[in-house]
Structure 1
Amino acid sequence: MTFSFLLFSSTFGFTVVGNTQAQATETPTAVVQNVKTSTPKAHATFTTSVKSINQVVQADDYATAITQEVNWINTQVAAEKLTGWDALALVRSSTGITDAQKTQIQTNIETNYADPSTQHQPTDYARDVIGLICVGADPTNVNGQNLVQEAVTNGIAADADVYAVTYGLIAATAAQSSNLGNVQTADLQIMVTNLLGMQNSETGYWTDQYGYTLDTTGMALQALALYLGNSEFDTDGRITNAVNSAFNTITLIGGNGALQEDGNFKDPFVADAAVNSSSDAMLIAGLAACGTELPDESPLSALLSFQVLHGTDAGSFNWTPEMTYDRQLSTQQAVYALDQYSYSVDGKGSIFDFTANPVN
């Protein structure tokens, strides 16, 4: 059975979802039935262009934040700890990635596959496909293993969970846009169809097996953004409708909405869910990739409030104000979320589209 365990570790390249007590067993439907019902405020109208400059966060604010984040990765993350997500964050930043970092990240990834008997999660394959593409290496032959095919196989499996499908689709698209792995359009269509079928028709969210929605929805939107408006995939506007549905709920304050008065996002279906930088980052990246306007409540300002301003960890991101948790992972996510926002503002499209945005 294809199953992506919820792992709170940058070693496995997985996003932090909700809070650290991810033990909920309710189905998405049961969770929705238990949601609090407060009067929702109106949300913004779905558009197809990102707000050029947020009223609160100016372009130089998030550009400076990216530079500070990258500096922390460059100076505080041990070379042997760099992952594919670091590669993505660095290569899409204005600072870029060094040749030494490319070589080190390729070595780190290849080391993970030195023993062919080692078991890997679907998200591992996807992370490493993306990482190898970012450093200019071939993900189709890593110590004899074709990581692109592994990502596709996991993504199209009949029992694939939302993470296998989402990350499989992103990795397969990244490979196809890089002319690697001979990815078949039919397999991409299967993953798009399956991912659309996983959206909760009542709420517009994607929910994982633990009942958490925000990080899951943010990554689903990033995956679907790659095919938004594509006549071969977005037939009858099915992707557009899915994005619109998610946007309309995410940007509500109250009810099933995720948006808070201070610009943060909070899971409305999990009573003890914590507002955190990972959820903010994933939803900002997803909304920006799809070309939707960020709400006036300024999620960008909310995300930047988690950045450490002083000391050794200056530039990095806390998971919550009270909890550092996995600092490397939180920082990776914040960097490429701001990278994606910057790309969208500049009309460059998705950071995962290596045809429109090739790496050097």
Structure 2
Amino acid sequence: MVNHQVSEWEAIALNKAGKTIPTSYLENVKKVVQENQGKFRLITDTERYTLGILAAGGDPTNIGGYNLVESIYNGNVTKQGLNGVAYALIALDSAKFKIPDLATWNRDKLLAQLLQKQNKDGGWAWDESTNSDIDTTGMILTALAPYKNQTGVKEKVDAAVQYLSTHYQNAKIDNSSTAAQVVIALSALGIDANGSLFTKENNSLVQYLLSFQNKDGGFDWKGGDVSDVFSTAEGIQGLAAYQLYATGKGSLYQLPLAAQTTVKENSTTPAVKQPLTQSVVVESSNSKVSTKGNPLPNTATNTYNLLILGIFLMMIGLVFYLREKKRNA
């Protein structure tokens, strides 16, 4: 994978596999964000860039002067169907970003949007139709994973897991990308993709995913010996997710925001590290926040000048009064 251009999904996989992400990745993303002035036609572009930036150790709330996280919670997340909604929740939860009270979307709204679109068979369809598909169901389960024990969520998750299990048992999972999405979802939920629920004829879902890996290390989509970049990225994400599950080290999209250091006002001002769970906006797409405050009006000097003027006028008045009194004597 590292012999090809690293995209957002590869960056996430490399991060979770404990590998080094090329420094050029973050530099390239910064240029793309600046060229587009922080605005992308597809909300999923904003969401995947947010995840990739986090994986590479960057801050998506201030990348090239733009706040991508704000563009998510104030964006049109439903424009691309349920994929946009699912990855909005995944991106916002990835580093536990704080969402303002007046934001267009919050976690409760995103959850409600996903839950109410579940079909009777337990799955979801990206276009919100009644024709559920496995990939979308896996993605949405990954988004729901942090909330899996909440009332009203658990029942939905259980039904979706059964939907996926049935489809695997019936050989409906027939390519590496779909297998990877399901492994990612199950691992986030704490369900063993190598267990009996996802085993058919002694072949588990993890083993099935591994069957698509070729001698060059890459993955192909649906069988054969020619690897492709997309299938490889999804395949390694699935393996990284399962490894995280097996070692009890969280899920694929847990990407804490690296500690950021504020700009020093002068050499005597210590740098302050921002909390990991908060989003700190240094620059937005419309304005820059200066680290220097405007000076307060010099009200003390003005008052002093008025006092001196008043005393001077009183002295003139006193002299005038004494001269008039002497003249009239």
TM class by shorter-chain length?
0.5 to 0.7
1:90 aligned onto 2:6 = no
Alignment partner of 1:278 out of 157, 170, 177 = 177
Supply the distance in 1 between the matched residues of 2:183 and 2:241 (Cα, whole angstroms).
8
Look up the SS of the partner of 1:292 in the other structure: coil
Supply the distance in 2 between the matched residues of 1:323 and 1:152 (Cα, whole angstroms).
42
- Residue 248 of structure 2 aligns with which residue? 347
- Residue 113 of structure 2 aligns with which residue? 194
Supply the distance in 1 between the matched residues of 2:226 and 2:115 (Cα, whole angstroms).
34
- In the alignment, is the contact (CA less than 8 A) between 2:57 and 2:258 conserved in 1? no
Identity among equivalent pairs (%)? 28
Alignment partner of 2:168 out of 259, 262, 271 = 259
Shift of 1:140: 1.3
Over aligned residues, Cα RMSD in angstroms? 2.6
The TM-score, its normalising length taken from structure 2, stands at 0.68
Alignment partner of 1:245 out of 159, 162, 166 = 159
1:220 aligned onto 2:140 = yes
Q: Alpha carbons of 1:278 and 1:169: their partners in 2 closer, same or farther (altered >3 Å)?
A: same
Q: Alpha carbons of 1:212 and 1:316: their partners in 2 closer, same or farther (altered >3 Å)?
A: farther
State the one-letter code of the partner of 2:182.
Answer: L
- Residue 99 of structure 2 aligns with which residue? 183
1:300 aligned onto 2:206 = yes
- In the alignment, is the contact (CA less than 8 A) between 1:123 and 1:163 conserved in 2? yes
Deviations 1:82-108 (A, max 9, x none): 1111110001014x224xx1x211112
1:172 aligned onto 2:92 = yes
Supply the distance in 1 between the matched residues of 2:148 and 2:45 (Cα, whole angstroms).
26
- Structure 2 residues without counterparts, runs of 5 or longer: 260-329
- Residue 203 of structure 1 aligns with which residue? 121
Indicate the structure whose relative CO is greater, using CA pairs within 8 Å and at least 6 residues apart.
1
1:111 aligned onto 2:25 = no
State the one-letter code of the partner of 1:89.
Answer: A
Task: List aligned pairs for 1:102-181, cutoff 5 A.
Answer: 103-116=23-36, 119-154=40-75, 161-176=81-96
- In the alignment, is the contact (CA less than 8 A) between 2:54 and 2:256 conserved in 1? no
Q: Alpha carbons of 1:339 and 1:122: their partners in 2 closer, same or farther (altered >3 Å)?
A: same
Supply the distance in 2 between the matched residues of 1:205 and 1:192 (Cα, whole angstroms).
15
- Structure 1 residues without counterparts, runs of 5 or longer: 1-72, 253-257, 267-274
- In the alignment, is the contact (CA less than 8 A) between 1:83 and 1:109 conserved in 2? no
Shift of 1:227: 2.1
Supply the distance in 2 between the matched residues of 1:142 and 1:132 (Cα, whole angstroms).
8
Query: Larger Rg: 1 or 2?
Result: 2
Look up the SS of the partner of 1:154 in the other structure: coil
Supply the distance in 2 between the matched residues of 1:357 and 1:147 (Cα, whole angstroms).
16
Shift of 1:219: 0.8
- Residue 62 of structure 1 aligns with which residue? none
